[in-house]
């Protein structure tokens, strides 16, 4: 807008108020004024924390009565060494700083802020931060390891327990031991477990229990509570005592979510007193006794079984030759039976075969014989016929020859000659006399002629 | 013959080994008898340890114990 008289006209104000002032100048004046306010510490819960990556970390501090927007330069926040988990909504912090005002700009909104220059966690958060620092320190010193290297006996005869007299932890611990059926010796070291006397008393009790010599494990236990309630168990001196103790320590402080420093240095960390009892006595004694009894029985059985097995083996070995021979004998008998049966089968088979063959041969021979007999019979008959015919012919022939011979013979018969007039001289004996000399010699002789014989005598009267 | 076991757990551990060996059926007669002899010793030890914590819970107070020890005075040699 163009000023009417070459210079800007001062706008009219409002009665009763200064100005009007340009707002930017007023904002700057306001920032300067606010910055003159004294630095203070505020305590409240963090809300709306925005860590981001910009040059500022923003959050609000609240309590039931109000809130203040806060900002902290990134580098100053980082120097606090807080982890993201430490700085979260709901935690209580103490913030040191002073008022500031961002005047804004053409495109940035103005904003009042409490510029935080330093900050620490308050209450539990503070304790946790201190605990974290102490934990890192002891860890760096290697004090978490010595107890871990100790051997926790599975079946201690004597257990030392540090706890509050009449506490629920004591009752729970006893219940845990009962579940293990453990009935050894407990040395109770009662000590305060919460106030400022607690840490030194607990430390002294632990040392004295360890000094007894018979105590094989020490349990330190109490029920749950806030970190402030459990703070005695984060005591540096106590934790160093535990870390270097030659007797294993079982810690069971608070509940499962609580973790005190003694849990880190102890040999074993348990969530409850009951669990601590089960850690202190690693076995169920009743079950173990039954198991040992069963093992003893089993061992006896194994030894007996081994002996019996060996005896059986030996007996088997001693029987072996006899059984071997018996076996052979059985085999032999069997083979003999089979042989006999086979022989019978063979003989029968052969006999049958031979019978079949014989029958065939015989029948064939019979037929041949019959045929031969028939042939012979026919031949015989033919021969007989021939013989008969030959006989007939022979008889006739012989009769004829006979007749011829008879005729011839008859022709030579002396009788025939006698009939024709010849005479036969016979000696007295009837023998023929063949010549005249025989007749002379005989002197007397007989003349046989047809019709009869005539005695005759030689007469020698005239010699020629 | 093995030495007396150092702890209950070592005794039980060795017993488990022995049982496993016996169950394998690979041990000969002599080894079986030796294992059983060793096992018997271990069993006696383990049973003794269990018996020691099975006779009834004994509860002592550290302060009373210390007082008693202090009353007895230092032991003289």
Q: How close does chain A come to B58, measured CA to CA in Å?
A: 5
Q: How many domains does chain A have?
A: 4
Both A279 and A300 in one domain: the answer is: no
Closest residue in A to B59 (Cα) is A186
| Residue B52 resides in a domain | yes
Residue A257, pLDDT above cutoff 70: no
Question: Residue A272 phi/psi, 5° resolution?
Answer: -145, 160
Element (H, E) at B4: none
Q: Are A169 and A222 in contact (CB under 8 A)?
A: yes
Whether A299 sits inside 8 A of B60 (CB atoms) is no
Q: What is the mean pLDDT of residues A198-225?
A: 93
pTM (2 decimals)? 0.55
Cβ-defined contact of B50 to A302 (cutoff 8 Å)? no
Domain identity same for A181 and A226: yes
Q: Say if residue A39's pLDDT is above 90.
A: yes
Q: Is residue B17 part of a domain?
A: yes
pLDDT tens sequence across A142-151: 999 999 999 9
Per-residue model confidence (pLDDT) at position A305: 82
Per-residue pLDDT at A333: 87
Query: Does one domain contain both A50 and A160?
Result: no
Which of A91, A121, A151 is where one domain is finished? A121
DSSP state letters, A254-276:
S-TT---HHHHHSSEE-SSHHHH
Is the same domain home to A234 and A109? Answer: no
Share of chain A above pLDDT 90, in %: 39
Decide if B62 is inside a domain: yes
Residue B1 lies in a domain: no
B42 lies in a domain? yes
Q: Is the pLDDT of residue B71 over 60?
A: yes
DSSP line for B11-47: HHHHHHHHHHHHHHT---HHHHHHHHHHHHHHHHHHH
What domain range is A438 assigned to?
417-457
- For residue A4, pLDDT over 60 is answered with no
pLDDT reading at A256 higher than 70: no
> Can you give the CATH number for the domain in which A37 is found?
2.40.50.140
Give the sheet arrangement for strand A249-253, strand by strand: A268-269, A249-253, A217-222, A158-163, A185-190, B58-61
Instruction: Judge if A136 and A278 occupy the same domain.
Output: yes
Examine the fold and report which residue of A262, A283, A304 is the final residue of a domain before the chain moves on.
A283
Tell if the CB–CB gap between A292 and B7 is shorter than 8 Å: no
Is the pLDDT higher at A36 or at A90?
Answer: A36
Please check whether residues A33 and A77 belong to one and the same domain.
yes
* Distance of alpha carbon A167 from alpha carbon A219, whole angstroms: 14
pLDDT of residue A145: 96
Encoding tokens for residue A315? 């007996």
Q: Do B36 and A153 touch (CB under 8 A)?
A: no
Name which of A353-362, A407-416, A417-426, B2-11 the model is least confident about: A407-416
Instruction: State which of A58, A87, A121 marks the end of a domain.
Output: A121
For A415-461, the pLDDT digits (tens) are 777 777 778 888 888 888 888 888 888 888 888 888 888 888 887 66
Which pLDDT does position B6 carry in this prediction? 80
Of the given ranges (A38-42, A79-83, B15-19), which has the lowest mean pLDDT? Answer: A79-83
* Residue B77 domain-assigned (yes or no): no
B23 within some domain: yes
pLDDT at res. A88? 82
Of A281, A298, A302, the CB nearest to B32: A302
Strand-pairing partners, residue A100, are: A113
In a domain, A443, yes or no: yes
pLDDT at A401: 64
Query: Over 50: is that where the pLDDT of A32 sits?
Result: yes
Count of domains observed in chain B = 1
The reply to whether A116 and A139 lie within a common domain is: no
Q: Is the pLDDT of residue A271 over 70?
A: yes
More confident call, A374 vs A272: A272
Domain residue limits at B37: 8-72
**Chain B residues close to A153, C-beta within 8 Å:** 7-9
Asked whether residue A269 falls in the same domain as residue A150, the answer is yes
Query: Which residues of A, range 307-336, sit inside 8 Å of B by Cβ?
Result: 307, 310
Residue A231: pLDDT band by 50, 70, 90 thresholds? Answer: confident
In a domain, B14, yes or no: yes
| Mean pLDDT for the stretch of residues A189-212 | 93
Instruction: Quote the CA–CA distance of A126 and B67 in Å, as a whole number.
Output: 41
For the cut 70, the answer to whether the pLDDT of residue A8 exceeds it is no
Query: SS3 of A87, please?
Result: coil
Q: Chain B partners of A209 at a C-beta cutoff of 8 Å?
A: 62
ipTM exceeds 0.90, yes or no: no
Residue A228: alpha-carbon gap to chain centroid: 57
- Within an 8 Å CB–CB cutoff, is residue A133 touching chain B? no
Q: Which residue of A has its CA nearest to B34?
A: A303
**Nearest CA of chain A to the CA of B64: how many Å?**
10
Of the candidate ranges A79-88, A380-389, A427-436, B30-39, the one whose mean pLDDT is the lowest:
A380-389
Question: Does residue A267 form part of some domain?
Answer: yes
Q: Do A162 and A273 have their domain in common? A: yes
Q: Does residue A270 sit in the same domain as residue A158?
A: yes
Residues A139, A117: one domain? no
**Contact residues, A window 171-190, toward B, CB-based 8 Å cutoff:** 177, 181-190
A298 contacts on B by Cβ (under 8 Å): 19, 22
Q: Which residue has the higher pLDDT, A395 or A269?
A: A269
Residue A328 belongs to a domain:
no
- Say whether residue A217 is in contact with chain B using an 8 A CB cutoff: no
Q: Which uninterrupted H or E stretch holds A226?
A: none
Task: Write down the mean pLDDT value for chain A.
Answer: 84
A85 and A56 together in one domain: yes
Q: For A100-137, what is each residue's pLDDT tens digit?
A: 999 988 888 999 999 999 998 887 767 777 888 899 99
Residues B72, B70: Cα–Cα separation, whole Å: 5
Mean pLDDT of all residues in chain B? 85
| A271 min Cα distance to partner chain B (Å) | 24
């Amino acid at each position: 807008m163009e000023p009417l008289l070459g210079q800007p006209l001062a706008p009219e104000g409002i009665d009763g108020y200064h100005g009007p002032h340009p707002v930017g100048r007023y904002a700057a004046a306001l920032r300067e004024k606010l910055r003159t306010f004294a630095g203070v510490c505020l305590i409240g819960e963090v809300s709306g924390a925005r860590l981001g990556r910009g040059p500022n970390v923003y959050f609000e501090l609240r309590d039931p009565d109000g809130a203040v927007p806060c900002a902290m330069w990134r580098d100053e926040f980082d120097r606090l060494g807080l982890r993201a988990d430490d700085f979260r909504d709901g935690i209580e912090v103490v913030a040191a700083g002073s008022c500031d005002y961002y005047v804004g700009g053409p495109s940035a909104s103005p904003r009042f802020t409490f510029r935080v220059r330093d900050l620490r966690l308050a209450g539990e958060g503070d304790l946790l931060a201190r605990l974290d620092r102490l934990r890192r320190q002891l860890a760096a010193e290697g004090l978490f390891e010595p107890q871990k290297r100790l051997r926790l006996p599975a079946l201690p005869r004597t257990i030392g327990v540090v706890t509050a007299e009449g506490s629920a932890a004591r009752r729970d611990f006893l219940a845990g031991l009962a579940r293990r059926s453990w009935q050894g010796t407990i040395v109770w070291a009662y000590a305060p477990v919460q106030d400022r006397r607690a840490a030194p008393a607990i430390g002294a009790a632990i040392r004295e229990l360890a000094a007894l010599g018979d105590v094989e494990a020490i349990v330190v236990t109490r029920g749950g509570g806030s970190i402030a309630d459990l703070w005695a168990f984060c005591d540096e001196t106590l934790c160093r005592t535990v870390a270097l103790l030659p007797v294993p320590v079982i810690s069971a402080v608070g509940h499962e979510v609580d973790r005190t420093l003694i849990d880190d240095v102890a040999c074993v960390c348990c969530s409850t007193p009951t669990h601590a009892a089960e850690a202190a006595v690693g076995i169920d004694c009743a079950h173990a006794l039954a198991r040992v009894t069963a093992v003893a029985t089993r061992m006896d059985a194994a030894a007996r079984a081994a002996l019996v097995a060996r005896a059986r083996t030996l007996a088997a070995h001693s029987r072996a030759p006899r059984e071997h021979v018996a076996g052979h004998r059985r085999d032999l008998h069997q083979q003999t039976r089979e042989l006999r049966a086979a022989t019978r089968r063979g003989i029968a088979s052969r006999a049958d075969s031979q019978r079949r063959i014989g029958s065939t041969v015989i029948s064939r021979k019979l037929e041949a014989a019959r045929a031969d007999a028939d042939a012979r019979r026919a031949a015989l008959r033919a021969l007989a016929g021939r013989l008969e015919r030959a006989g007939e012919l022979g008889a006739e022939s012989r009769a004829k020859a006979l007749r011829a011979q008879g005729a011839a013979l008859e022709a030579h018969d002396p009788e025939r000659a006698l009939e024709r007039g010849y005479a036969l001289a016979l000696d007295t004996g009837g023998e023929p006399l063949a010549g005249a000399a025989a007749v002379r010699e005989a002197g007397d002789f007989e003349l046989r002629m047809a019709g009869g014989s005539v005695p005759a005598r030689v007469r020698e009267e005239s010699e020629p | 013959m093995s030495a007396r076991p150092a702890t209950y757990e070592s005794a039980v551990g060795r017993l488990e080994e022995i049982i496993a060996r016996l169950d394998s059926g690979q041990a000969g007669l002599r080894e079986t008898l030796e294992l059983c002899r060793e096992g018997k010793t271990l069993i006696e030890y383990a049973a003794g340890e269990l018996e020691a914590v099975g006779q009834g819970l004994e509860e002592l107070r550290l302060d009373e114990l210390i007082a008693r020890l202090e009353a007895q005075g230092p032991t003289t040699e």
